[in-house]
Amino acid sequence: MHDPFTEAHTLFRKQVRSFTEREIAPHVDQWEKDKCFPTSLFKQAGEVGVFGAHYPEDVGGAGGDFWMSIVKAEELARGGAAGVTMGLLVQADMATPCINDLGTPEQRREFLAPAIAGDRVAALGVSEPGAGSDVAALRTTARLVGDEYVINGAKTFITNGTRCDFVTLMVKTDPDAGHAGISIILCPSDVKGFAVSRALEKAGNWSSDTAELFFEDVRVPKRYLLGKPGMGFVYLMQNFQSERLVGCASGLAGAKLALDRSVEWGRERTVFGKPLIKREYWQQKFVELYTKYEAAKALSYKAIDAYNDEKYVKGGMLSMETTKLVSMAKAYVGDVTGEIMDQCVQFHGGMGYLEELWVARAWRDQRLLRIGGGATEVMRYATAKIMGFG
């Protein structure tokens, strides 16, 4: 595959790496204890272009391609806390892409531009207590009354949910039409009837806030409907692809960091009179893990290149072939990075199981990659359908 990175990508990489080393890495231990990173980080990230590098200049972006998002995802992972990365990536690549794609000029000015600047915090409202990967089963409704939508329902597992200024919200505008009755509405959080039911305690990604949201007769203007009514499911399936790809990039970058740090530790750790990395078993194991990392990265980059070509170069809808590649990459990267993190814990022995060492956090943070953005089983089921197996 050709080298996708230009001089502009390289300069942006240096910029995000400097930001990560300066504003994130020194603080992650405290933010993990606090179970949240400061909201002010959104503004800091916006000021250095973290959210807007791949968005048009007319909304405050830099006009770059999707590889800019991959650069950002890879460099933010170097901060050493996936929770921070996830909170920022939700803002950049999960809650806002469909606003850029579908939004009216007014919607893009009101919601997208301030999100890119870091002035407003965004969340994506899809999952519900009874509808996770099965998006078509969601029950939150939005009923058109005059010039307003009246929203009732609940959402769960919402990253940035405790402090978001708006939610890109999946709702049923026609409850009897199945997935054809789903629409997307931009819902500010300062409206009457919107509430954070509770903050959720997670097994990993502690430094990102995750919430359950409740909507009781929430009224928003009809003009906050994003795109066409009833097309939300189609829009979301396209939107999911970018989420999955930045997840792959971030997960692989975190796995590479764990591998490198483990090998470095193994050179210093002496067991039975010899550095641990000098033991043949671990030499073989790390060669295997690095090989799987390279294979997973190659598959991901192939999917990213196809996505970038179809979405940013040609400006069209994604083909089934590209969707298949994305699903394959998401499932494979989840498995590979899970194995890498597990073996890194094993390599550290008892110390690897202590919270005081970075590897325990890396291990529990990674586990979400096989669930969030489409569970591994769903990715393989989707791939099987595209390949005509079902």
List, for residues 214-267, the tens digit of each pLDDT value. Answer: 999 999 999 999 999 999 999 999 999 999 999 999 999 999 999 999 999 999
Q: What's the whole-number average pLDDT of the chain?
A: 96
Strands 166-172 vs 122-125: parallel, antiparallel or unpaired: parallel
Instruction: State residue 10's pLDDT score.
Output: 97
Residue 47 among the catalytic residues: no
Contacts of 263 (CB under 8 A, 6+ apart): 277, 286
Q: Do 167 and 220 touch, CB atoms closer than 8 A?
A: no
Q: Is the pLDDT of residue 296 over 90?
A: yes
CA distance 333 to 54: 23
- What's the burial of 243, exposed, middle or buried (CB within 10 Å: 0-12/13-18/19+)? buried
| CATH class as words, domain 232-386 | mainly alpha
Q: Is the pLDDT of residue 1 over 80?
A: no
CA distance 5 to 365: 28
CA distance 20 to 22: 5
Q: Is the pLDDT of residue 136 over 80?
A: no
- Provide the token pair at 337: 């990075």
Helix (H, G, I), strand (E, B) or coil at 77: helix
Q: Is the pLDDT of residue 132 over 80?
A: no
Q: Phi/psi at 115 (nearest 5 deg)?
A: -70, -40
Helix (H) or strand (E) holding 220: strand 210-221
CA distance 64 to 313: 11
- What's the burial of 140, exposed, middle or buried (CB within 10 Å: 0-12/13-18/19+)? buried
Helices (H), the chain: 7-19, 28-34, 40-47, 66-76, 82-89, 97-102, 105-107, 113-117, 232-268, 280-308, 320-348, 358-366, 376-386
* Centroid of chain to Cα 93: 7
- What's the burial of 160, exposed, middle or buried (CB within 10 Å: 0-12/13-18/19+)? buried
Q: Choose among 48, 49, 23: nearest CA to 37.
A: 23
Q: Choose among 58, 59, 94, 56: nearest CA to 73.
A: 94
Question: For the chain, what percent of residues have pLDDT higher than 90?
Answer: 94
Q: Say which amino acid occupies 280.
A: E
> Would you place residue 270 in the very low, low, confident or very high pLDDT band (cuts 50, 70, 90)?
very high
Q: Is the pLDDT of residue 102 over 80?
A: yes
Instruction: State residue 76's pLDDT score.
Output: 98
DSSP string, 183-229: EEEEEETTSTTEEEEEEPP-SS-TTS-EEEEEEEEEEEEGGGEESST
> Would you place residue 178 in the very low, low, confident or very high pLDDT band (cuts 50, 70, 90)?
confident
Instruction: State residue 129's pLDDT score.
Output: 87
Summarised one tens digit per residue, pLDDT across range 35-46 is 999 999 999 999
Q: Choose among 44, 46, 55, 51: nearest CA to 92.
A: 51
Q: Is the pLDDT of residue 287 over 80?
A: yes
CA distance 318 to 238: 7
Summarised one tens digit per residue, pLDDT across range 51-78 is 999 999 999 999 999 999 999 999 999 9
Strands 210-221 vs 148-159: parallel, antiparallel or unpaired: antiparallel
Lowest mean pLDDT among 83-87, 142-146, 232-236: 232-236
- Third-level CATH fold of 123-226: Butyryl-CoA Dehydrogenase, subunit A; domain 2 (2.40.110)
Instruction: State residue 58's pLDDT score.
Output: 95
Helices (H), 176-319: 232-268, 280-308
Q: Is the pLDDT of residue 130 over 90?
A: no
pLDDT (mean) for 361-374: 96
> Would you place residue 135 in the very low, low, confident or very high pLDDT band (cuts 50, 70, 90)?
confident
Q: Do 274 and 357 touch, CB atoms closer than 8 A?
A: no
Helix (H, G, I), strand (E, B) or coil at 357: coil
Question: For the chain, what percent of residues have pLDDT higher than 70?
Answer: 99
Summarised one tens digit per residue, pLDDT across range 147-176 is 999 999 999 999 999 999 999 999 999 999
pLDDT (mean) for 378-386: 96
Helix (H, G, I), strand (E, B) or coil at 269: coil
Summarised one tens digit per residue, pLDDT across range 316-361 is 889 999 999 999 999 999 999 999 999 999 999 999 999 989 999 9
Q: Residue-wise over 49-74: b if at least 16 C-beta within 10 A, else e?
A: bbbbbbbeeebbbeebbbbbbbbbbb
> Residue ranges per domain, the chain?
7-121, 123-226, 232-386
Q: Is the pLDDT of residue 312 over 80?
A: yes
7-121: CATH number = 1.10.540.10
CA distance 300 to 69: 13
Tell me which of 128, 243, 288, 310 is the catalytic residue.
Answer: 243
